[in-house]
Copies of this chain bind each other. A is one copy, B any other.
C-alpha cells in the first residue's frame, strides 16, 4: 500500500515548450485544492540534486498561464545520469519530505525518472511537454499545437516574399526524429513538398514534383524540410542541388530555429497542460506511479512509463497523401 502523499515536487526538464508554465500552475493549484504542499525544483533534475527549490502556493503561479518558457527553468542534467547524482537527489527529497514527483518533459526526462523511481521507490508521474510531439502514449504533447501555429505564421510571412518574387523557399523546421511538425505545417501552410525523417521520397521525386509544379503555372513554391529528413542532405545542400538541376528556380533557405520553442501558448496547449497536470496530481494522491498522462480523443488517459520510453509514436501517413493531393 502506498503511503499518504503530503508533499509533492515538480520539475520541468528537457527542451522548454509553450504551456509548461500552464502545467506548473495547474500542478500547484491542484495541490492547493487538495491541501497538499508543492515544491517547485529549479533547472530540472539539477534542482533535485542541489536542493534548489521553492514552496509554491496558489498565488505564486498567478498571471503565468499565458507565458512561454518555464519559470522553474529547464536543463538536461548529466549528473542525474550517474548513480551519485540520483542518490543526492533522493537525499534532498527525503530530507524535505517530498513524497512524489511530477515530471514535465520528454523522453529523456521520463527515462531518468523511471530509473530513479525504481532505485528509490519514489512515485513519479510524467506529463508530456515538448514541441516535437514525439512521445508515445498521447496524441498531443504540451507545446506542439503552439509550435504548429508559430511555424505556419512564419511560413505565411515567407510566402509573401516567395509570391512577390516568384521564388522557391526551403524552410527547415524542428523534428530530428519525427515529422509531426513538418507534416502538419506543410499542409497548413500549403507547401508544395514536405520532407520528413520517416519517409525517403528521394531527390528525383523532389525534382519531378518541382518541375511539375512549375509547369502547372506555380511560380513560387515552399518546401518544408524536417531537421532530421531522410534524404541525407541538409537544407542548404538541398537548395544547392535544386538550383543546379532546376536553374530557373531562385532558391532560398530559411532555418526557423529557436523561435519554434517559445511564444504564448495556444488555447489548446493551455487547456491540455491544465487537464494533464491536474490529473497527474490526482494520480499521485490515488497511489499510482510510473505512468505518464496522455490525451486520447477528448480524454486524459494514462500510459506506463515503460511503454512511453520504449515505443515510438507514428505519424499519420495519410497526411502525406493529402499533401500530395493539395499541391496539385
Interface residue from B149, B158, B328 paired with A32 (Cβ < 8 Å):
B328
Are the C-beta atoms of B165 and A268 separated by less than 8 Å?
no
CB neighbours of A185 from chain B (8 A): 267
Are the C-beta atoms of B139 and A297 separated by less than 8 Å?
yes
Nearest-neighbour CB distance to chain B for A124, whole angstroms, equals 21
CB neighbours of A63 from chain B (8 A): 159, 163, 190
Alpha-carbon distance A267/B266, docked complex (angstroms):
11
Alpha-carbon distance A25/B150, docked complex (angstroms):
22
CB neighbours of A275 from chain B (8 A): 187, 318-319, 322
Interface residue from B16, B165, B254 paired with A16 (Cβ < 8 Å):
B165
Closest B residue to A253 by beta carbon equals: B257
Closest B residue to A145 by beta carbon equals: B268
Q: Is A9 an interface residue (CB 8 A)?
A: no
Q: Is A262 an interface residue (CB 8 A)?
A: yes
Alpha-carbon distance A20/B160, docked complex (angstroms):
11
Closest B residue to A323 by beta carbon equals: B274
CB neighbours of A26 from chain B (8 A): 325-326
Alpha-carbon distance A117/B65, docked complex (angstroms):
41
Q: Is A164 an interface residue (CB 8 A)?
A: yes
Interface centre among A33, A154, A188 (most CB of B within 10 A): A188
Are the C-beta atoms of A252 and B262 separated by less than 8 Å?
no
Q: Which of A172-205 contact B (CB under 8 A)?
A: 184-185, 187-190
CB neighbours of A1 from chain B (8 A): none
Interface window among A67-75, A86-94, A95-103, A283-291: A67-75
Q: Is A217 an interface residue (CB 8 A)?
A: yes
Are the C-beta atoms of A16 and B328 separated by less than 8 Å?
no
Interface residue from B12, B18, B139 paired with A160 (Cβ < 8 Å):
B18
Q: Which of A15-69 contact B (CB under 8 A)?
A: 15-16, 18, 20, 25-26, 29-30, 32-33, 43, 58-59, 62-63, 65-69
Q: Is A3 an interface residue (CB 8 A)?
A: no
Are the C-beta atoms of A157 and B261 separated by less than 8 Å?
yes
Q: List 30 A-B contacts (CB under 8 A).
A: A16-B160, A16-B165, A26-B325, A29-B325, A29-B327, A33-B328, A65-B188, A65-B189, A65-B190, A66-B159, A67-B160, A68-B157, A69-B163, A73-B166, A145-B268, A148-B266, A150-B157, A157-B258, A158-B259, A158-B261, A159-B262, A161-B258, A161-B262, A184-B267, A187-B275, A188-B268, A268-B268, A271-B319, A275-B319, A278-B326
Closest B residue to A183 by beta carbon equals: B271
CB neighbours of A187 from chain B (8 A): 270-271, 274-275
